[in-house]
Each structure stands twice: as structure tokens, then as C-alpha cells.
């Protein structure tokens, strides 16, 4: 494994800015670089692929199509839920973001799309589904992972374990 370029299994520290529709949506400016373990799906696949082979100090602009980012917008990813299934004290409003546990016991992101008299329409699309993502990234450091990081498949930042 080369220690000088981004390859699978390396811990990569990167500075980044993300634009969606011409507006900055997220940036590492002021927060410090983001670290990820390359090859473990820690970041979206379309960006990870493009970063392979970059060296420390390299900068790159990457455009990620929806399919390689947060997915295409799925017209079928809606569900009507009877209003009585929501807690009485909950204020149900369009645009409210929820975490819904599915039949698989996993938590899924959902957004209230429409509120009817008896039912509430949930949209399960990721907020960035269907969007083209533009990144500017800069590799600022590379290191080998610890055994524990490889076991967990993610980076442990100093003093932080999960």
C-alpha cells in the first residue's frame, strides 16, 4: 500500500466545500478537516472514487451525479400514515423532519410532505436526492489506520471512541 496517495484503507484528512444549486451547503472551513477511512463507504461513493490517487496537497473539483451521491429522487418513496399514529402532543407540519423506524427496526429519515385531515404523507427521499453535488476537496493528511479503526470501519478521532 502506498502511503503517499489516497488508497483503500488509508485515513484521509480533507478540507472540503460542497455546493448544491450554486450555494454552499457544507464546508470544513472553520471546523477543521474531515477524516474518513477510504474504501469503507464513510463518504459518498462518487466522491471517494474521484479522490483515489490524490496526494497530500492536491486539490480537485468533483461533480457527483445524483446516482453516485444521495440517489435519484424516487417518486414512489412516499407513504401515507394515519394521523392517529402520531403522538397527540406532536405538532405535525409540512417540512418537519422525522426519524421513523421501519419494519426492519432501522431508523429512516422522513420529511412530512403533506398534512391531510386523516392522514399524513411522508417523503422518504434524502433531502439531497436528485441533486448534483459539486465538491472542492483538498487532501491535507494521510495516515495508516489503527487496527481498531479497520475493525470498526471508521476513523477514531483523538480521544473520541464510538
User: Residue 43 or 137: which CB sits closer to Zn ion?
Assistant: 43
Nearer to Zn ion, 2 or 146 (CB): 146
Please work out the total of residues on this chain that contact Zn ion, with binding judged by CB under 5 A: 2
**Does 60 interact with Zn ion (rule: CB under 5 A)?**
no
Supply angle C-alpha 51, 53, 55, rounded to 5.
Answer: 90
Q: Give residues 6-35 in contact with Zn ion (rule: CB under 5 A).
A: none
Give the start-end residues of each E strand in 10-58. 11-20, 23-27, 34-37
**Closest distance between Zn ion and the C-beta of residue 156, in Å?**
6
Q: Is residue 126 part of the contact set for Zn ion (CB under 5 A)?
A: no
Query: Which whole-number Å values give the CA distances from 146 to 11, 90, 91, 152, in the listed order?
Result: 9, 44, 46, 10
CB of 154 to Zn ion, least distance (A): 6
Q: Which residue is nearest to Zn ion (CB)?
A: 152
Does 121 participate in binding Zn ion (rule CB under 5 A)? no
Q: Which stretch binds Zn ion (CB under 5 A): 1-9, 86-94, 102-110, 144-152?
A: 144-152
**Other beta carbons within 10 Å of 122:** 20
Distances, alpha carbon 65 to alpha carbons 61, 78, 144, in Å? 13, 22, 30
Kindly give, in sequence order, each residue whose CB lies less than 8 Å from that of residue 26, ignoring residues fewer than 6 positions away.
16, 17, 18
Interface map 72-111 toward Zn ion (x if CB under 5 A): ----------------------------------------
Residue 152 in contact with Zn ion, rule: CB under 5 A = yes
Cα 21 to chain centroid distance, Å, stands at 17
Q: 24 vs 144, which CB is nearer to Zn ion?
A: 144
**What does the alpha-carbon distance between residue 116 and residue 110 come to, in Å, rounded to a whole number?**
17
Positions in the binding site for Zn ion (CB under 5 A): 152, 162
Amino acid at each position: 500500500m502506498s502511503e503517499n496517495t489516497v488508497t483503500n484503507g488509508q485515513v484521509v484528512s480533507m478540507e472540503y466545500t460542497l455546493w448544491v444549486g450554486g450555494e454552499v451547503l457544507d464546508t470544513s472551513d472553520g471546523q477543521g478537516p474531515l477524516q474518513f477511512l477510504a474504501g469503507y463507504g464513510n463518504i459518498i461513493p462518487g466522491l471517494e472514487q474521484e479522490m483515489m490517487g490524490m496526494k497530500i496537497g492536491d486539490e480537485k473539483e468533483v461533480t457527483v451525479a445524483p446516482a453516485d451521491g444521495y440517489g435519484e429522487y424516487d417518486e414512489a418513496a412516499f407513504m401515507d400514515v394515519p394521523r392517529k399514529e402520531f403522538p397527540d402532543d406532536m405538532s405535525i407540519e409540512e417540512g418537519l423532519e422525522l426519524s421513523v423506524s421501519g419494519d426492519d427496526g432501522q431508523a429512516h429519515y422522513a420529511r412530512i410532505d403533506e398534512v391531510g385531515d386523516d392522514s399524513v404523507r411522508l417523503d422518504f427521499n434524502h433531502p439531497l436526492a436528485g441533486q448534483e453535488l459539486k465538491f472542492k476537496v483538498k487532501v491535507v493528511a494521510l495516515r495508516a489506520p489503527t487496527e481498531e479503526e479497520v475493525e470498526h470501519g471508521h476513523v477514531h478521532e483523538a480521544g473520541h471512541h464510538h
